[in-house]
Amino acid sequence: MISFSQVTKRYPGGHEALSAVNLSIEQGELVFLIGHSGAGKSTLLKLIAAIERPTSGMVTVSGQNVGRLSRLAVPYLRRNIGLVFQDHKLLFDRSVIDNVMLPLDIAGFDRREALKRARAVIDKVGLLMREKANPVSLSGGEQQRLCIARALVSRPALLLADEPTGNLDAGYAADIMAMFRDFHRVGTTLVIATHDDRAISALGGRTLRLDHGRIEEVAA
């Protein structure tokens, strides 16, 4: 589903975040990216979602050469990818339910259908009681769950999560990882960047270690 071939990413200023990375991820896989901060985990995820473009090499997602995608085509790629951010990127000028409905609005869903879907996914992450609340009033763990709900509402085949438990205490982190395990079971491809070793041992799955822009497989 995802393949990297000799991918190098150098940022303006000369910092090389990824060096000649080769990588292949199959549909339905659960993959953890580990490594110290600045190792290139976020860059790798950004290349998959076409938020950044490779300096050289080729990134393909579902057969599309993502690095060469035109500006007009990028939105349609992103509609098939759920993104979970460490800083949540929620909009605080609207309610919980409206945050979750944003991807459906963008995709042009009928409002009633969108409401139904949004309610279902908010229920799944356990926030149905707070659907009218402003995200500001939610705890860190609840905000992260809301971000996950928004990423999942359009039923993407691929979910990318960048440090989803980074700011959370152990209890919340376990909740979230359990949620990811459920999505993995229904066939969603997940790529999760984390430094939370407990989570990895709990979920199993494949683990890739990034170190100074180079990637290596970690034996289970």
Q: List CB contacts of 179: < 8 A, sequence separation 6 or more.
A: 124, 125, 145, 148
Stretch that binds other proteins, among 21-29, 106-114, 116-124, 181-189 (CB under 8 A): 106-114
Taking alpha carbons only, the member of 109, 107, 117, 44 closest to residue 75 is: 107
Give the pair of three-digit tokens for residue 117. 């879907």
Task: Based on the shown chain and the rule CB under 8 A, indicate whether residue 51 belongs to the binding site for other proteins.
Answer: yes
Residue 81 CB, nearest distance to other proteins (Å)?
Answer: 8
Task: Based on the shown chain and the rule CB under 8 A, indicate whether residue 107 belongs to the binding site for other proteins.
Answer: yes
| Closer of 36 and 79 to other proteins (Cβ) | 79
Q: List CB contacts of 81: < 8 A, sequence separation 6 or more.
A: 48, 49, 61, 156, 158, 159, 160
**Binding-site size, other proteins (CB under 8 A):** 25
Residue 205 CB, nearest distance to other proteins (Å)?
Answer: 25
Contacts with other proteins in 76-95 (CB under 8 A)? 76-79, 83, 89-91, 93
Distances (CA, A) of 56 to 52, 71, 120, 168: 12, 18, 42, 36
Q: Rule CB under 8 A: which residues touch other proteins? A: 49, 51, 71-72, 75-79, 83, 89-91, 93, 102-103, 105-108, 110-111, 150-151, 154
